[in-house]
Amino acid sequence: MLARAGRDQLDQAAARCAPWPAHEWLRGAETGMVMLRGRVGGTGDAFNLGEATVTRCAVRMGTRLGVGYTLGRDRRKAELIALFDALLQDEALAPALMDEVVEPLARAQAQAREARSREAAASRVEFFTMVRGEAA
């Protein structure tokens, strides 16, 4: 949910969670490349589809380790994902974070997915074969 969220959504959620508990950056946000793999028809042999830019970082909050990965070059988004990942591992904070951060993000993503699905369905074309009057 966090990696699929928009940066503005994460910034708003972070503002509601401020101030952050004491934390230490184990790996500052850094950008690199990953190889994307694909399969023909979803079941065929795997092949290298191409590369994608990814930003990652890691943070420690006490005994918890938060890791953030996101497609693209948005360093702050990767940091926010890592911070939320660490906070969600705290049994005392996790229920409130699920209610206030993760569930709203999940609902927004489901609504966006549904809207895209409705838009695609509206432009759907039905193909069919007409049988000519000749006997086969």
Tell me what pLDDT residue 128 has. Answer: 74
Q: How far apart are CA 128 and CA 110, in angstroms?
A: 32
Answer yes or no: is 42 within a domain. yes
Answer yes or no: is 45 within a domain. yes
What is the domain range of residue 102?
A: 7-113
- Each residue's pLDDT tens digit in the chain (136 positions)? 899 999 999 999 999 887 889 999 999 999 999 999 999 888 889 999 999 999 999 999 999 999 999 999 999 999 999 999 999 999 999 999 999 999 999 999 999 889 888 888 888 777 777 677 666 5
In this structure, the number of other CB atoms found within 10 A of the CB of residue 59 comes to 25
Q: Among 52, 10, 55, which residue's Cα sits nearest to residue 28?
A: 55
DSSP β-ladder status, 64-71 and 46-61: antiparallel
* Dihedral (Cα; 5, 89, 79, 35), 10-degree rounding: -70
Q: What is the 3-state secondary structure (H, E, C) of 1-70?
A: CCCCCCHHHHHHHHHHHCCCCCCEEEEEEEEEEEEEEEEHHHCCCEEEEEEEEEEEEEEEECCEEEEEEE
- Counting the structural domains of the chain, the total is 1
Edge to edge, the sheet with strand 24-39 lists: 24-39, 46-61, 64-71
Answer yes or no: is 120 within a domain. no
Answer yes or no: is 60 within a domain. yes
Answer yes or no: is 126 within a domain. no
Tell me what pLDDT residue 122 has. Answer: 82
Question: In terms of pTM, does the model score above 0.85?
Answer: no
Answer yes or no: is 125 within a domain. no
**Residue ranges with strand state E in 62-135:** 64-71
Q: How far apart are CA 78 and CA 136, in angstroms?
A: 62
